[in-house]
Amino acid sequence: MSMANPLWGAPRIHGELLMLGIEVAQSTVAKYMAPRTRRPPSQSWKTFLRNHAAGIASIDLFVVPTAFFKLLYGLVILNHDRRLLVGFGVTSHPSAEWIARQVTEAFPWDQAPRYLIRDRDCVYGHAFIRRVRAMGIRDRPTAARSPWQNGHVERLIGSIRRECIDHSVVFGEAYLPRIVRAYAAYYNEVRTHLSLEKNAPVPRTVQRVGQITALPLLGGLYHQYLRI
């Protein structure tokens, strides 16, 4: 009880034990309580993410160099509940207005998350902040130099790099959205996730009858296995 309820003192725990029919002295309870930690009494960031996963989305930018040494910026928006990639965009000149438009397209007005986690990049300007507030979304910037606080979307960006972009030659701004769109369909509908009990963000049904066939995806880089 002491470890699960760090704000409880010996009198509170003693009272709970009495309600459970356990007769013990309060001094004994105080003797065997877990040592106090120096962490603040408020919930940790990890606890916040776990408790509110159904209403949290994350957003982040990443840089992609092209074959002609031009820099493109990709934007991904991730829903924490099912690790669903709900929005992405590509531009050579990111701005607050452009990001605000991507958020609007990713979330219809009746499906907006309660919280949106982002880093403190200056590109998230007033136009972006006004838009998310108008949609009823509570803006949650992470602490400075703390990418781990936005770990879900950081891992998604790593997956996009390792599983898609690193195996393609990006020629320009028109080409990158096509391959990211194809990867998004694979990520949402086919790729299994450990955090989802080895299912996909869009749940797949178990197929037990039929002949197994392989459907090539992303130009044969991956395959989807089906029974027909």
Render each residue's pLDDT in the chain as its tens digit; 228 residues: 888 887 789 999 999 999 899 999 999 999 999 887 655 556 677 778 878 889 999 999 999 999 999 999 999 999 999 999 999 999 999 999 999 999 999 998 778 999 999 999 999 999 999 999 999 999 999 999 899 999 999 999 999 999 999 999 999 999 999 999 999 999 999 999 988 989 999 999 999 899 999 999 998 888 889 999
What CA–CA distance (Å, rounded) separates 156 from 99? 18
Inter-helix orientation angle 96-106/126-134, to 10°: 20
Per-residue pLDDT tens over the stretch 13-71: 999 999 899 999 999 999 999 887 655 556 677 778 878 889 999 999 999 999 999 99
Is residue 123 within 8 A of residue 61, CB to CB? The reply is yes
What is the distance between the terminal CA atoms of the chain, rounded to a whole angstrom? 53
Determine the pLDDT at residue 97: 97
Q: What SS3 class is residue 140?
A: strand
Determine the pLDDT at residue 41: 56
Q: Quick one: 185 exposed, middle or buried, by C-beta within 10 A (0-12, 13-18, 19+)?
A: middle
Question: In CATH, which of 1.10.150.20, 3.40.1160.10, 3.40.50.720, 3.30.420.10 is domain 47-196?
Answer: 3.30.420.10
Please report, for the chain, the start and end positions of each structural domain, with discontinuous segments joined by +.
10-42, 47-196
What CA–CA distance (Å, rounded) separates 35 from 30? 10
DSSP strands (E only) in the chain = 56-65, 71-79, 84-91, 115-118, 138-141, 212-217, 222-227
Entry pTM? 0.80
What CA–CA distance (Å, rounded) separates 163 from 157? 10
Q: What SS3 class is residue 163?
A: helix
Is residue 179 within 8 A of residue 163, CB to CB? The reply is no
